[in-house]
A and B are shown apart, each in its own frame.
Chain A
Amino acid sequence: KAGVTQTPRYLIKTRGQQVTLSCSPISGHRSVSWYQQTPGQGLQFLFEYFSETQRNKGNFPGRFSGRQFSNSRSEMNVSTLELGDSALYLCASSRQGSEAFFGQGTRLTVV
């Protein structure tokens, strides 16, 4: 079956702009989590959605938001982009209580 799909793969934005990233989970997976990964850093948890509800949230400013649709697809939005938002954004889907499967990520560069 198809894996986790993230679009777009690469994105270049200007400071102050906003961006929306998309994630399509594995069929049957209702949990979708988002992570930020900066060079040489680990994975920083952004938020997790389950059945269209945000169930967990990491320690990121309110400029970072997300949502999940009834088909479990998820989007995350970053408003008023800053240079420090440049990172690889990873989406992971899972069945409840099991391992997470990651997409290839969206590489966001803010200039």
Chain B
Amino acid sequence: GESVGLHLPTLSVQEGDNSIINCAYSNSASDYFIWYKQESGKGPQFIIDIRSNMDKRQGQRVTVLLNKTVKHLSLQIAATQPGDSAVYFCAENTGSNYQLIWGAGTKLIIKP
């Protein structure tokens, strides 16, 4: 079936370094992808999205890269800060309905 999965369940990064969180998806028909951040005790918060007609999109300190050839999505966080500690989820939408399909999540840990 359709699925979105993450390569690493936990990622530890030194404060100030860049973080890269990866996500694989299996449905080649997916045309919209989103990254969410969920801090402890809170609901997921939208970070950045990208549509399938793009391969890169930048936000504030974050960049999402989409490689449709290998069905891979990544989130890059520049100069990681303690406040970036959270679980990061990727989600995809095929466009045929409005249901988001979610990955399992990657926990980002910032080392001082």
CA distance A13 to B100 in the complex (A): 29
A42 touches B42 (CB 8 A): no
Kindly supply a per-residue 1/0 record for chain A positions 28-58, scoring 1 wherever the CB is within 8 Å of any chain B CB and 0 otherwise. 0001010100000111110010100001101
Measured between beta carbons, the chain A residues less than 8 angstroms from B103 are: 42
Q: Assess whether A105 is interfacial by the CB under 8 Å rule.
A: yes
- CB closest residue in chain B, given A57: B99
Which single member of B43, B46, B98, B105 contacts A90 (CB below 8 Å)? B43
CA distance A73 to B46 in the complex (A): 21
Kindly supply a per-residue 1/0 record for chain B positions 24-52, scoring 1 wherever the CB is within 8 Å of any chain A CB and 0 otherwise. 00000000101010000111111001000
A56 touches B89 (CB 8 A): no
Interface size class of A (residues with CB under 8 A): 20 to 34
Measured between beta carbons, the chain B residues less than 8 angstroms from A100 are: 34, 46, 100
CA distance A48 to B101 in the complex (A): 12
Which single member of A42, A96, A104 contacts B89 (CB below 8 Å)? A42
Measured between beta carbons, the chain A residues less than 8 angstroms from B41 are: 104
CA distance A6 to B61 in the complex (A): 30
Distance in Å from the Cβ of A108 to the closest Cβ of chain B? Answer: 14
Contact of A55 with B98 at beta-carbon distance under 8 Å, contacts A41-B104, A42-B104 already known: yes
Measured between beta carbons, the chain A residues less than 8 angstroms from B42 are: 104-105
A55 touches B102 (CB 8 A): no
CA distance A85 to B94 in the complex (A): 29
Distance in Å from the Cβ of A78 to the closest Cβ of chain B? Answer: 19
Measured between beta carbons, the chain B residues less than 8 angstroms from A101 are: 46
9 interchain pairs, CB-CB under 8 A:
A4-B43, A45-B100, A48-B98, A50-B98, A56-B99, A99-B34, A99-B49, A100-B100, A102-B45
A-B pairs, 8 with minimum CB distance: A102-B43, A42-B104, A56-B99, A43-B102, A99-B46, A102-B44, A42-B105, A42-B102
